[in-house]
Amino acid sequence: MSATVSKTRLSANILATILSAALLGACATSPSREARGPAPAINQPERLLAHARNVQAEKGCDKAIPTYRVIGGFGEGYEVAQYELGACLLETAPISEQTVLLTQEGLFWLRRAAWAGNARAQWRLAMVLSGAPSPYAENVDAIPTEAMGWALVYKDNGTRELYGLAPVYPKVLNHLNATLSSDAKAEAATFANDFTEVKMAIFTPPAGNQNAKKAGGGKRGPSGDGGQQRRRRRQAEQTASR
């Protein structure tokens, strides 16, 4: 009998040891949240942009677009995200069931970034609006006068040379020169000469004490419920003392 009990205990000890080792191994090999770092929050646009780019590289534009939309909404200072969002939308549009919608949204964000002075957005608009064959322009209606205007703005953009960006493709410029009338070319030149950057307003998150004031309840100031209760008590005490 004692031999049977000893064997049972021994088996239980061996099983417990095996389970403990397995759990320790899982903890050692499974990446913890601390090791990965906290997920990027809504008020961390730089980390969100890095996250969006990683998603785009690993899973494609269609998966990165929602995050790019959030960053683009931060406004001034995040024109690069607006450009990348617009480029991603035009890339995704041809294979989407919402081709027209994504194309129009893509052009919106490219224009938004271009008006703010982003050279890449100006270059991309000159390409896709020209009517000449260019990547991701198959669903875009040609607006050659606007394309020529952006080509001229891009040519004079100081950041183009600073970052060593390529000029507008010669084939596109040749197409525009052959397509546009003299009046249209003059209109494009006027647009470029009068161009002034227009930036989106900077997103300002709500003050941190807003929620604290709402959660304060009876501790709020004289204009809140707590102040009204104190006034009622003082009035009652004054009435009772008369």
- 15 φ/ψ angles, rounded to the nearest 5 degrees: -60, -40
Contact 199, 190 (CB under 8 A): no
Q: How confident is the model at residue 92 (pLDDT cuts 50, 70, 90)?
A: very high
Helices (H), the chain: 2-29, 33-36, 45-59, 61-72, 79-92, 99-115, 119-128, 144-155, 158-162, 170-179, 182-194, 209-215, 225-241
pLDDT of residue 233: 60
pLDDT for residue 203 is more than 80: yes
pTM value is 0.69
d(CA 126, CA 122): 6
Q: What is the pLDDT of residue 15?
A: 41
| pLDDT computed for residue 34 by the predictor | 38
What is the pLDDT at residue 7? 45
* Cα torsion 105, 110, 111, 116: sign: positive
With 50 as the cut, is the pLDDT of residue 18 above it?
A: no
pLDDT over threshold 90, residue 84: yes
Tell me the three state secondary structure of residue 71.
Answer: helix
What single-letter DSSP state applies at residue 130?
Answer: S
Q: Which pLDDT does position 43 carry in this prediction?
A: 67
Whole-number pLDDT of residue 4: 47
Q: Cβ neighbours of residue 238 under 8 Å, at least 6 residues apart?
A: none
Mean pLDDT, to the nearest integer, of 156-178? 93
- In CATH, the architecture of 42-194 is Alpha Horseshoe (1.25)
The Cα–Cα gap between 110 and 88 comes to 10
Q: How far, in Å, CA of 25 to CA of 101, rounded?
A: 50
138 versus 123: the higher-pLDDT residue is 123
Q: Which of 205, 201, 196, 197 is nearest to 76 (CA)?
A: 201
